[in-house]
Structures are given as C-alpha cells and as structure tokens.
Copies of this chain bind each other. A is one copy, B any other.
Amino acid sequence: MKNVTVLAGGVGGARFTRGLLGHLAGVAPEAAVTVVVNTGDDMWLDGLRICPDLDTVMYTLGGGINEEQGWGRPAETRRAAAEIAAYGRGWSWFTLGDLDLATHIVRTDLLRSGSTLSEATDFLCRRWQPGARLLPMSDQPVETHVRLAADIDEHRAGELMHFEEWWVRYRAGIAVTEFVQVGLADAVAAPGVLEAIENADLIILPPSNPVVSVGTITAVPGIRSALRSTPAQVVGVSPIIGGAAVRGMADACLHTIGVATSAEAVGLHYGARAAGGLLDAWLIDVTDAAALPVLAAAGIRSTAVPLWMTDLPTTTAIAAAALDLGA
C-alpha cells in the first residue's frame, strides 16, 4: 500500500483521514495519502475567500481543530467579526473567528496575488503539516447553490441560494428542488487530482456528504471517468448509520435528490463500478447489516463494522476495515 487517495468533504472526511493516517503510521509508514477536498462550499465573505472543507481537513490533520464543534480553531474569539457587524457588513449567521480569519486573509492575499488555490493550500499547509497532501478538487471556483422551492417565500421560488446560507443559516430546513454547481462547466480538476486517482493503490470515499461533498467532487469534469478507469479499488465508508446521518443534515440533501437516508440507498446511489457506478466496496455499520445481501446483489462488496468515529482508536479501526475491504 503506497498511495491512498481520499475524496473528502469537511468534518467526516477530515476525521476519517486522521484515523487513516494513524493506522498507516503503524502498518505502512511509507504510504502517502492524498486528500482531494470538496471546494463547492467555498465562498466570498467580506472580500475574503473562505474554504470551509479545506480548512477543516487542514486544521484536523494539523492539530489545530476545535474538537468539540468539528470545525474552526479552539479557544476562538470573534472580535473582528463583531466590528465588521458594527459596520453593517458580514453575515450574522456565519461568524469568523479571529484566529481563523488569519487563514482567510493569507489565502485571499495569495489568490489576489495570482496564486492558484492549489498553491495557496500548499502554502497554508506548510505551517500545519497535515501529514497528507491536500488538493482542492479544482482551482476554478465551483460554488454549490440550492434552488429554492416555494417554502420560505413563494416569490423566491426558483432562485438560487449559496449552499452555505442554506446549510448554516437555515440548517437545511427549507425545501429546495436541486443543487446547482455554479462554475462547474468551466472547471477542471486541480493539478495532481487525476494523477492521484489514476496512480492510487486504493481510493476511499470517506463518510462525507454523498451529495454536496463527494457528489460535487465527482461532478468536476474528468474526475468521475478517472474513478471509473483507475486500476485501484474504490472503497466507500457509509456516512449514514441506522437511517440517520452521522453528522449534519445529509438527509435533507439526499431527500432533495430522491435518495433515501440509508446506508443501502447511498451505496446503491454511488453504484457498483462494474455497473457504471463508483464503488468496488462499501463499508457499512453493523446496525445496517441487513443491507449486505442487497448490496452484494448489486455487485458491491460490503462489510458491516462499527462506524461511529467516537475517538481516534475507533476511527483508526474503521480506516483499517476500509483498507482490509479494499485489499
């Protein structure tokens, strides 16, 4: 096992990858991990470029994450954000911490000076030393939006809203009819992404949101076909346990695209590689073991193990099970 590539969103992908690195340090210290990170949640706020998933992965792997909330920095303050609000700017529902703000300032400065997002990410990681190579899925902005149903205001039905507003401000609690990736048509995979898929010994879809994290990454032109043609095994880890999302409001996302919130349904949604889908194998929780025959019938090799990432040892064990399943 030399090269492992993970396609990750925020908290779930970050925590899984931390467990993966912990496991590999013991069994395959020579292994190199590449994390292709969703940038569909990225946005401009107060003129600063915010990359929620890249930062969550970087802080988690680099030892700078707020463990309780899963994102942002520990011992954070919000003095600058309160001042920005006093000017009548900013978003009251998306508060930037003073420590976190520095990351956005440095990144934005690099981008404004002509660096790509890949280069800016590489620069930021020189400080955090995450122990894995972090690649944005694309250097072009691809921003996920939701198309509003008539739920909050019938006059706004059909309008687009940035995913982060829907997710953070409305807690995914208003009806939407679809997800739209603005900028997707003009985007290409960032340098190294297709190579990381083509040259991997194993590819893992961690327990990230299947719609707006893994789904967005695989929608970037070229990535899905690279996943289908790579000689590596592709192993997914279910983000759904016992009919509920491990974290966040993934059920609202799945509902919008007409997929049930179950480990079985998400596995079938990804689909078997042999049948044009993404998965060779699918790791589900013991609670969902009843789905194993259906998954097997669909051509997806599956195993059921405990999937709650309650701490580093349990997460390391999940990563070990994913590696076993892909072997």
Q: Which residues of A contact B (CB under 8 A)?
A: 46-48, 77, 79-84, 86-89, 98-99, 101-103, 105-106, 108-109, 112-113, 123-124, 126-127
State how many angstroms separate the Cβ of A202 from the closest Cβ of chain B: 32
16 contacts between A and B (CB under 8 A): A46-B106, A46-B109, A47-B105, A47-B113, A48-B105, A77-B98, A79-B98, A79-B99, A80-B80, A83-B99, A83-B102, A83-B103, A87-B106, A87-B123, A87-B124, A105-B105
- Bound-state CA distance A261–B83 (Å) is 40
In the bound complex, residues from chain B placing their C-beta under 8 Å from that of A113 are: 47
| Residue in B89, B102, B108 whose CB lies within 8 Å of A87 | B102
Interface-centre pick from A77, A81, A83, A127 (highest chain B CB count, 10 A): A83
- Bound-state CA distance A112–B124 (Å) is 23
- Bound-state CA distance A121–B57 (Å) is 38
In the bound complex, residues from chain B placing their C-beta under 8 Å from that of A48 are: 105, 109
| Residue in B80, B112, B126, B127 whose CB lies within 8 Å of A47 | B112
In the bound complex, residues from chain B placing their C-beta under 8 Å from that of A106 are: 46, 84, 87, 89
Q: How many copies of this chain does one complex carry?
A: 2
State how many angstroms separate the Cβ of A87 from the closest Cβ of chain B: 5
Closest to A127 in B: B87
Closest to A83 in B: B102
State how many angstroms separate the Cβ of A208 from the closest Cβ of chain B: 27
Given contacts A47-B112, A47-B113, A112-B47, contact A105 B84 (CB under 8 A): yes
In the bound complex, residues from chain B placing their C-beta under 8 Å from that of A79 are: 77, 79, 98-99
| Residue in B47, B88, B89, B102 whose CB lies within 8 Å of A84 | B102
In the bound complex, residues from chain B placing their C-beta under 8 Å from that of A99 are: 79-80, 83
State how many angstroms separate the Cβ of A94 from the closest Cβ of chain B: 14
Closest to A84 in B: B102
- Bound-state CA distance A80–B46 (Å) is 16
Given contacts A80-B105, A87-B123, list 10 more A-B pairs with CB under 8 A. A46-B106, A47-B113, A77-B77, A77-B98, A79-B79, A80-B80, A80-B99, A83-B98, A86-B102, A89-B109
In the bound complex, residues from chain B placing their C-beta under 8 Å from that of A105 are: 46-48, 80, 84, 105
- Bound-state CA distance A79–B105 (Å) is 13
In the bound complex, residues from chain B placing their C-beta under 8 Å from that of A86 are: 102, 127
> By the criterion CB–CB under 8 Å, are A80 and B108 in contact?
no
Given contacts A86-B127, A124-B87, contact A80 B109 (CB under 8 A): no
Closest to A102 in B: B83
> By the criterion CB–CB under 8 Å, are B88 and A127 in contact?
yes
State how many angstroms separate the Cβ of A32 from the closest Cβ of chain B: 24
Interface-centre pick from A81, A105, A108, A109 (highest chain B CB count, 10 A): A105
- Bound-state CA distance A162–B124 (Å) is 27
In the bound complex, residues from chain B placing their C-beta under 8 Å from that of A112 are: 47
In the bound complex, residues from chain B placing their C-beta under 8 Å from that of A124 are: 87
> By the criterion CB–CB under 8 Å, are B108 and A47 in contact?
yes
